[in-house]
Amino acid sequence: MKTFPMFLQMQGRRVIIAGGGEQAAQKCRLILKTEAAITVLAPVLDPELADLIAEGRIDWHTGPIRPCDFEGAALVFVATGCRATDSCLHMLAKSAGAIVNVVDQPDLCDALTPSIVDRSPVVVAIGTEGTAPVLARQIKTRLEEILEPRLGDLAALVGRLREHANTRLAPRARRDLWRWVFAGPARDVHRQGGERAAAKMIKHAIDTATFGTEDNGSVALVGAGPGAKDLITMRGVQQLQEADVIFYDRLVDPEILDLARRDAERIYVGKAPGCHHWPQDKISGVLVAAARQGKRVVRLKCGDPGVFARGAEEADALSAAGIPYEIVPGVTAASAASAALGGFLTERGTCDTLVLATGQSQTAGKSLGWMKTLQPGTRVAVYMGVGSAGKIAHEISVAGLQDVIDIDIVSRAQQIDQAIARCRASSLVRTVKESAISNPAILFLTWPQSTAQDVQSEKVAQLR
């Protein structure tokens, strides 16, 4: 970010608007939504500003503009409509130490005015750092449609009841209460115009501590997707925002953790190959222990928790301990890698069978059991297969398929350092080495349907 978004306290503070035309009037309308005192510096005013002066809503200074006029201002808008005049006033304001916004001159702006969705006290500001104001307005329009007109009134009601809730409920229960308010029947009733009924429902929930929650903890096994922050599902984001504690893997993009609630505890339980400071039994144990403390737990796994992620072992441990859990699917690495190649996991007429396999075998020296599934019209996606590249190439060659199987390799799919390579079995090891490909990676082994007529009977017999 080149700019840092922040909300300024405006109550009892002074805002200076230098200019008396339409541009100045636009900024005046914006600041009138706040509780700031407004002073307009201009020799003449357009009718709208003149009316505001007559109503006593703003102050007007007509004399020569000097640096002292800007001293102590929380914010200064320069909007005369003349670029040369604006530049001169910008220098005067800066000499007084003011924070300045010069209309239509982003290079002279200390602060940029965002597009605003106003449901006060709920305020959403959308900024593009001055690069795309039209886009900001489009986003604003979408948000205006999503956020109901009375949402600000509901937020204000919650603000008035917050102290009452603080005196009666523990911190965890308060979070559950407000989650229930904004995602449950109270908000629906308020949205439909039932402000009094909604207030009664919330007060009753506070007094009785009944709002659809229990003291028991729970666990969500959440798939973070293949790496990129924007490939996690909306359900996954929701779980992160409700979590008290997050146990995350080595391959999870750190930016995904930024989607979690700020005060959620984050615990790294990553396992690197050959270096297991967090063995699986220990991970399962801490999930159970945290849930027994009444916490909402997220176990954040790269990809999908049900695809070579040992999610079943954790689910079994939770089930044995009587801990409720939810499985939140994620985009698995094979899907991301296929998209990176510009293709699809299955293709009619070419590949109608998909096999997900792993290059990590629990038994050293044992043959790759999934090789027998490699038939015409089949694609095998081998997870973490780089370390087994030599073994894979050997077994393909032994089966006589070295000139039949297409091999695509995608390392760190959908990430900025993504790498892609294509080869045949005879050059697989060399390609991995020369392309400096490392795990996490997917190897796609494809026997296209189009080659089946020539080699099907002979090769299938060999594989049997």
Enter the DSSP assignment of 341.
T
Enter the DSSP assignment of 373.
G
Tokens of 116: 């605003």
* Cα–Cα distance measured from residue 30 to residue 10, given in angstroms and rounded to the nearest whole number: 12
Residue 75 near residue 30 (C-beta atoms within 8 A):
no
Active site residue 249: yes
Phi-psi region of 279 (alpha: psi -120 to 50; beta: other; left: phi over 0): beta
| Beta bridge pairs of residue 358 | 383
How distant, in Å, are the alpha carbons of 118, 237, 382 from that of 125?
A: 9, 21, 45
Q: Which of 140, 203, 229, 271 is catalytic?
A: 271
DSSP assignment of 71-115 equals TT-SEEEE--S-HHHHHHHHHHHHHTT--EEETT-GGG-SS-PPE
Q: In this structure, which amino acid lies at residue 368? A: L
Q: Is 11 helix (H, G, I), strand (E, B) or coil?
A: coil
* Cα–Cα distance measured from residue 141 to residue 163, given in angstroms and rounded to the nearest whole number: 34
* Cα–Cα distance measured from residue 168 to residue 451, given in angstroms and rounded to the nearest whole number: 72
* Cα–Cα distance measured from residue 36 to residue 459, given in angstroms and rounded to the nearest whole number: 81
Active site residue 271: yes
Q: Is 32 helix (H, G, I), strand (E, B) or coil?
A: coil
Q: Which of 69, 249, 253, 304 is catalytic?
A: 249
Q: Is 412 helix (H, G, I), strand (E, B) or coil?
A: coil
Active-site residue list: 249, 271
